[in-house]
């Protein structure tokens, strides 16, 4: 097992990575918990035993499950179960489950403790770590949520064996992001070679360690933590186009992030922050993770910019995380004309 500490003082916790990590759940359930609500989804066949009496509760599948209605229903189930403030929630699943269960834990009784048992690659390398919980509105992705740190995160790599191919792609999209955030991951002129060449447990642990270090430095996304959103502003806009009653692209989160990484590089070049070779590097990294860098057909630039302007990271302007001379960093006040022109260069309709 590989253990990565998330250094947040009294709110600190460990991320445990390796085959069979979920079996250490009884050791990390908060002391004093007399019962546990295990929140998961239909079809997640992962056995867990928290070591105390528990009840299994299901949330719906898909991005549309990330809603206030789902959180309300889950909180009502917690109340019927009799979960007290000293008890705990255990989320077993991918990013949808950890986001919804974590947010419910943050608001039920004004906060109960929770543990994430991450069962997808995306959740293990990113979504389950860092305490950002939340749900979507029709107006945009993750617009309602809370910072609420888990008591522990268990990344059992055994659970990845049965993942569908597109869930692997989704996780690799986040891994591609980390190739630009971690020192030395762009190794020997071969983008992502160091990360891709590692055993799976070490790949997950390396990404988790990068995220843990950033979260420890900036827990509530005042500045530094925004780098973890590299590629995500366009990604969230693409995802927002697919829910809230709209018909949008069929993209998993990490697939959208891969497109967003290349878009961010193209935008950075337009702004004079990076050169042509750096843009090519982004495309090679995305390709090295077997991901597409192309915008979905029928994407609308004006619609995407509208969603970007409402993204949770915007500060009454268009804010992007972009590569540059000092590396990846937040850039505020980007002109809409530059964003529209970059989307047009990538083949996006007006």
**Active-site pick, 225, 252, 269, 282:** 225
How many domains in the chain? 2
Read off the pLDDT of each residue in 250-255 and give the average, rounded to a whole number.
Answer: 89
On whether both 211 and 110 belong to a single domain, the answer is: no
Q: Is the pLDDT of residue 137 over 60?
A: yes
**Active-site pick, 66, 172, 236, 269:** 236
**Active-site pick, 22, 136, 141, 174:** 174
Q: Which of 160, 182, 208 is the C-terminal boundary of a domain?
A: 160
Residue 102: what pLDDT? 98
91-100, 261-270, 311-320, 339-348: least confident range: 311-320
- Residues 33 and 87 sit within 8 Å (Cβ to Cβ): yes
pLDDT band for 298, please (50, 70, 90 cuts): confident
* Residue 239 Cα to chain centre, angstroms: 13
Active site residue 110: yes
- Residues 192 and 285 sit within 8 Å (Cβ to Cβ): yes
Active site residue 219: no
pLDDT band for 314, please (50, 70, 90 cuts): low
**Active-site pick, 132, 141, 269, 313:** 132
CA distance 347 to 342: 9
Q: Which of 109, 131, 160 is the C-terminal boundary of a domain?
A: 160
On whether both 334 and 207 belong to a single domain, the answer is: yes
On whether both 298 and 225 belong to a single domain, the answer is: yes
Active site residue 174: yes
**Active-site pick, 252, 253, 282, 313:** 253
Active site residue 246: no
On whether both 8 and 127 belong to a single domain, the answer is: yes
Read off the pLDDT of each residue in 121-139 and give the average, rounded to a whole number.
Answer: 95
Residue 93 β-bridge partners = 118
Read off the pLDDT of each residue in 304-311 and give the average, rounded to a whole number.
Answer: 86
15-48 residue pLDDT tens: 999 999 999 999 999 999 999 999 999 999 999 9
- Residues 347 and 300 sit within 8 Å (Cβ to Cβ): no
**Active-site pick, 66, 177, 211, 313:** 211
Active site residue 282: no
**Active-site pick, 110, 277, 315, 316:** 110
Please report, for residues 87, 129, 320, 322, 337, the alpha-carbon distance to residue 270 in angstroms, rounded to integers and kept in the order given.
52, 33, 13, 11, 11
Q: Which of 160, 194, 215 is the C-terminal boundary of a domain?
A: 160
Between vectors from CA 262 to CA 325 and to CA 327, what angle results, nearest 5°? 20
More confident residue, 328 or 241: 328
Which tokens hold the place of 73? Answer: 């229903």
On whether both 331 and 185 belong to a single domain, the answer is: yes
Of the chain, the percentage scoring pLDDT greater than 70 comes to 93
**Active-site pick, 22, 172, 177, 232:** 232
Beta-carbon neighbour count of residue 286 at 10 Å? 28
Active site residue 229: yes
Q: Which domain holds residue 121?
A: 2-160
Read off the CATH number of the domain in which 311 is found. Answer: 1.20.1090.10
Q: Is the pLDDT of residue 246 over 60?
A: no
Residue 316: what pLDDT? 66
Pairing of strands 36-40, 132-137: unpaired
* CA nearest to 61, candidates 205, 252, 336, 263: 252
On whether both 102 and 144 belong to a single domain, the answer is: yes
pLDDT band for 169, please (50, 70, 90 cuts): very high
Active site residue 284: no
184-224 residue pLDDT tens: 566 555 556 678 788 999 999 999 999 999 999 999 988 88
* CA nearest to 115, candidates 150, 145, 147: 150
Active site residue 316: no
Active site residue 273: no
Residue 190: what pLDDT? 57
On whether both 133 and 241 belong to a single domain, the answer is: no
On whether both 220 and 294 belong to a single domain, the answer is: yes
**Active-site pick, 116, 136, 142, 229:** 229
Residue 350 lies in a domain: no
Put residue 215 in one of left, alpha, beta given phi > 0 → left and psi -120 to 50 → alpha. alpha
Read off the pLDDT of each residue in 299-304 and give the average, rounded to a whole number.
Answer: 91
272-281 residue pLDDT tens: 999 999 999 9
Q: Is the pLDDT of residue 95 over 90?
A: yes
């Amino acid at each position: 097992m590989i253990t990565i500490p998330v250094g947040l003082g009294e709110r600190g916790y460990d991320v445990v990575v390796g085959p069979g990590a979920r079996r250490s759940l009884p050791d990390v359930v908060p002391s004093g918990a007399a019962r546990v609500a295990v929140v998961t989804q239909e079809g997640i066949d992962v056995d867990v035993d928290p070591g105390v009496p528990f009840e299994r509760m299901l949330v719906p599948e898909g991005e549309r499950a990330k809603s206030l209605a789902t959180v309300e229903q889950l909180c009502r189930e917690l109340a019927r179960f009799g979960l007290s403030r000293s008890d705990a929630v255990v989320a077993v699943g991918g990013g949808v489950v950890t986001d919804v269960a974590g947010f419910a834990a943050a608001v039920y009784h004004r906060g109960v403790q929770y543990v994430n048992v991450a069962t997808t690659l995306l959740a293990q390398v990113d979504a389950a770590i860092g305490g950002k919980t939340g749900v979507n509105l029709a107006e945009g992705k993750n617009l309602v949520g809370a910072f609420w740190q888990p008591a522990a995160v268990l990344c059992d790599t055994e659970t990845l064996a049965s993942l569908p191919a597109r869930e692997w792609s989704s996780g690799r999209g986040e891994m591609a992001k980390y190739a630009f955030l971690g020192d030395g991951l762009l190794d020997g002129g071969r983008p992502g070679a160091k990360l891709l060449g590692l055993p799976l447990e070490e790949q997950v642990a390396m990404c988790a360690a990068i995220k843990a270090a950033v979260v420890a430095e900036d827990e509530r996304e005042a500045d530094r933590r925004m780098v973890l959103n590299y590629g995500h502003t366009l990604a969230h806009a693409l995802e927002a186009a697919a829910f809230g009653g709209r018909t949008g692209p069929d993209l998993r989160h990490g697939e959208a992030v891969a497109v967003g990484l290349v878009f961010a590089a193209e935008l950075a070049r337009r702004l004079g922050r990076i050169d042509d070779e750096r843009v090519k590097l982004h495309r090679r990294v995305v390709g090295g993770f077997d991901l597409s860098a192309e915008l979905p057909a029928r994407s609308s630039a004006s619609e995407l910019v509208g969603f970007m302007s409402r993204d949770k990271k915007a500060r009454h302007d268009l804010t992007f995380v972009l590569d540059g001379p000092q590396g990846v960093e937040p850039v505020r006040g980007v002109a809409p004309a530059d964003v529209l022109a970059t989307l047009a260069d990538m083949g996006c309709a007006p």
